Amino acid sequence: MERAREFYVDLLGFVETESEAGKIYLRGYEERYHHSIVLRLAEEPGLSHFAFRVSSGSDLDELTTLFESKQIRVKKMSRGSEKGVGEALRVQDPLGFPVEFYHEMDESERMLQRFDKHRGGKPMRIDHVNCQTPLVDLGYEYYVRDLGFKVSEFTESQDGKLWGVWLYRKQNVHDIALMKGTGPRLHHIGVWMPDVTSVIWVCDVMAGANFQDKIERGPGRHGLSNAFFLYVRDPDGNRIEFYTGDYMTADPDWKPIKWSLEDKKRQTFWGHVPPKSWYDEASKVESIEDGRLMEPVQVISQDRPSFAT
């Protein structure tokens, strides 16, 4: 836990709301709720669950009905079973990801204008999760048709199949992305930064503290999403993307942008090729039933561009 605190709080600058035995509750400078990340002591690294906030308590009932109609088992979480969080639902989504839905969370001081307290990389807010799954088509149907997400951009492999899809509810490029790969595995969480200089600063801060081997990919600009990005690995191997510079998707008639998997500029607009580890490695996810890490299913179709090997 101390190593994790050093990394997330001292180095990267996440705000520690509070901590207790085996848990540290973190948030970004723009966030006004209790936490957006919980670090939990465990025997193996992995993801317990990610969570979406719904607009009202009644949305939880509606979701319960939906899940039951689809034979998805719903695990009801009572208020406070996660510190600061109200009543919640957890499901294993059709792709195997452990997903929570909640409405209420305790508030915390929003630190946006306490610039004198900003530290390290100055993370502003958790923006999205990116998931690896062999079942991108199924995920697309579930998230778009059942849960009402919209598509901002997507990628096709050379055989004309959907390779990856970027899905949003809030009005920017995504809340969740699905990329074809061995899964269910969490590829990364995306953290929003105010500008290019702040993303570069993460590199300098990490290397200044001798964590340069935790910088995995970037800085660079994605063609898909236009995001200026940096991927780092935490001491347990979990991947974080620090990024800025995507765009608003307030347009009700937004036309999803299509990219080819073999277009180098899709990945990195400047032509750089990601390292092999970026495709190979990701975080296992827990079963909501027994909390054990699920063994991912290997993807058999193409999981990366042919130039990235």
The site for its own copies (CB under 8 A) is made up of 11, 30, 32, 55-56, 112-118, 120, 125, 170-172, 194-197, 200-201, 203-209, 212-213, 215, 219-221, 223, 226, 228, 244-245, 247-248, 250-252, 264-265, 269-272
| Nearer of residues 232 and 261 to its own copies, judged by Cβ | 232
| Nearer of residues 23 and 272 to its own copies, judged by Cβ | 272
| Nearer of residues 162 and 200 to its own copies, judged by Cβ | 200
| Nearer of residues 160 and 252 to its own copies, judged by Cβ | 252
Smallest distance from the beta carbon of 108 to its own copies, in angstroms? Answer: 13
d(CA 50, CA 177): 13
**Cα dist. 257→107, 128, 161, 286 in Å?**
37, 19, 15, 33
d(CA 183, CA 280): 11
| Nearer of residues 154 and 303 to its own copies, judged by Cβ | 154
Cis before 219? omega within 30: yes
Smallest distance from the beta carbon of 302 to its own copies, in angstroms? Answer: 23
| Nearer of residues 34 and 221 to its own copies, judged by Cβ | 221
For residues 46 and 284, the answer to whether their CB atoms sit within 8 Å is yes
* Residues 6+ away with beta carbon under 8 Å from 28: 14, 15, 36, 123, 124, 125, 126, 191, 192
Smallest distance from the beta carbon of 233 to its own copies, in angstroms? Answer: 12
Triad 218, 221, 224: Cα angle to 5°? 120
d(CA 108, CA 43): 30
Sign of torsion over alpha carbons 76, 170, 267, 39: negative
How is residue 270 written in tokens?
A: 């400047």
| Nearer of residues 126 and 299 to its own copies, judged by Cβ | 126
Number of alpha helices (DSSP H) and beta strands (DSSP E) in the chain: 6, 17
Smallest distance from the beta carbon of 170 to its own copies, in angstroms? Answer: 4
Smallest distance from the beta carbon of 37 to its own copies, in angstroms? Answer: 17
| Nearer of residues 102 and 185 to its own copies, judged by Cβ | 102
**Strand 23-27 versus strand 185-192 pairing type:** unpaired
For residues 96 and 47, the answer to whether their CB atoms sit within 8 Å is no
Smallest distance from the beta carbon of 57 to its own copies, in angstroms? Answer: 11
Smallest distance from the beta carbon of 268 to its own copies, in angstroms? Answer: 8
Smallest distance from the beta carbon of 205 to its own copies, in angstroms? Answer: 5
The residue count for the chain? 309
